Amino acid sequence: MNGEKITLYVTGSIAAYKAVSLLRLCQKAGADVRVVMTEAATRFVTPQTFAALSGHSVLTDASAAHLETIAHVELAQWGTYHVVAPASADFIAKSAAGIADSVALTTYLAARGPKLVVPAMNDGMWDNPATRRNITQLRQDGQQVLDPATGLLAEGYAAKGRMAEPEVIMTALQQLQGQPQDWAGKHLLVTAGGTQEDLDPVRYLSNRSSGKMGYALANAASQRGAQVTLLSANVNLPTPTGVKVIPVRTAADLKDQLQQLFPTVDGLLMAAAVSDFRPVQVAEHKLKKTADGEEITLRFQQNPDLLKLVAAHKRPNQVVVGFAAETHDWRQNALHKLAAKQADYIVLNDVSNPAIGFNSDDNQVTIFGADGFQEQTPVETKDAIADHILTVINPKDH
Ligand code: PMT
């Protein structure tokens, strides 16, 4: 951590005293640390303690009220890394929602660098569905959240909720620092979600894609230094940090964006589930039933194969990755798509299993390369799968 600047956010928990040791460890590793505290945190450890040890004045709601500068923006921009330790359930909930009603939250919201969140709370609060949702949200936003340790809580019994020890936090920080920037200087185009094809002004044909896989790819690529443009088809997920999102709705919208952007990028990760068919005619008015039990027939025509369309114009230094969503004959179908679409890789997804594939947080994929590469991942989070895919298709090979 030599020469790094760390903004340490101390929030209201009995574990605030451990933040003093963390500050010391960071300094020992060569980092400069500045501290911002919530009002609740100041009831556990005084700002003077952190000021004396860090050699910097501490930002609190009370001190900010007397400052003329925009101190929170200055501190947000100063820190290369942002560490919340201890992170109370309240701070986690508010930061997950983008609420900025204290100087600590305002600073955190304005901060752009890598973020490490170290929760400390009662086990009931940790297990509460609201906290679980907030933690998932922070992780989806690209923040690293450590799990609390199991041990004696302030309440006098042993359970999960203790703040991770400062040494464990240091290791996590060092890992965060060591995040490979192997996609730096590259521009990746990622597609996510499911396209919609209108039947009439109120109905459409679509599929079960949630966009989670594509968003995980965009997030991982951005974390690893890539410039990322994400073509997002009907996805309701938060924008990953640093990623430019362009919403699309239909396969035709996606085609327009792909044709415009593909020539400008170093790679395409085509995780979107594109409708293979669209109605021959889109009814001008809402389709009405005319009699009980009436059957209707809808006629569909094929959409163009967008991946095939753009991959046909692939430059030698561009990497093209398709995804195959299959319910049967997995390997055979995936290999056929790899060849037919002229992709460099096809990532095979088994969408017959609800625990992986569509809308699940986990996935298991087999990656096939045009060069004969083949690898099946274990069942892992989509974030971990995304990271792995980016390693396999690493730009150093292209
Ligand atoms: O979004 P999630 O809920 O997280 O789920 C992830 C996922 C299962 C949707 C994703 O990982 C996945 O498998 N995406 C590809 C879905 C798909 O459309 O598969 P396909 O086998 O029909 O198409 C193969 C490839 O051709 C895909 O890269 C697809 O984007 C592309 N394609 C398909 C049809 C078409 N007309 N044009 C295309 O470009």
- pLDDT recorded at residue 396: 60
- Backbone dihedral angles phi then psi of residue 43, each to the nearest 5 degrees: -80, -15
Pocket of ligand 1 (CB under 6 A): 209-214, 251, 270-274, 276, 303, 305-307, 322-325, 337, 341, 349, 351, 357-359
- pLDDT recorded at residue 176: 84
Between the CA of 237 and the centroid of ligand 1 the distance, in Å, is 18
Which residues share a beta bridge with 247? 232
- pLDDT recorded at residue 68: 65
User: Is the full-model pTM beyond 0.85?
Assistant: no
Please confirm, yes or no, whether 207 is among the known catalytic residues: yes
Helices 382-392, 212-223: crossing angle, 10 deg rounding: 60
Give the class (CATH, top level) of 5-178: alpha beta
Burial 160-190 (b: 16+ CB within 10 A, else e): bbbbbbbeebbebbeebeeeeeebeebebbb
Share of the chain above pLDDT 70, in %: 98
Closest atom of ligand 1 to CA, residue 212:
4
Given 3.40.50.300, 3.40.50.10300, 3.90.1300.10, 3.10.20.90, which CATH number is that of 187-397? 3.40.50.10300
| Active-site entry in 122, 128, 207, 363 | 207
Closest atom of ligand 1 to CA, residue 326:
21
Rounded CA-CA distance 363/307 in Å is 22
Between the CA of 307 and the centroid of ligand 1 the distance, in Å, is 10
Q: Which residue has the higher pLDDT, 333 or 152?
A: 333
**Residue 188 scores a pLDDT above 70:** yes
Between the CA of 326 and the centroid of ligand 1 the distance, in Å, is 9
Are residues 97 and 64 in contact, defined by beta-carbon separation less than 8 angstroms? no
Annotated binding site for CTP: 276, 286, 304-307, 323, 337, 341
Say which residue the tokens 């009980």 belong to. 292
**Same CATH fold, 187-397 and 5-178?**
yes
**Residue 395 scores a pLDDT above 80:** no
Which residue intervals of the chain are DSSP H helices?
A: 16-28, 47-54, 61-65, 71-78, 89-96, 103-110, 123-127, 129-140, 166-177, 212-223, 251-261, 306-311, 330-340, 382-392
User: What are the extents of the domains in the chain?
Assistant: 5-178, 187-397
Between the CA of 301 and the centroid of ligand 1 the distance, in Å, is 18
Closest atom of ligand 1 to CA, residue 191:
30
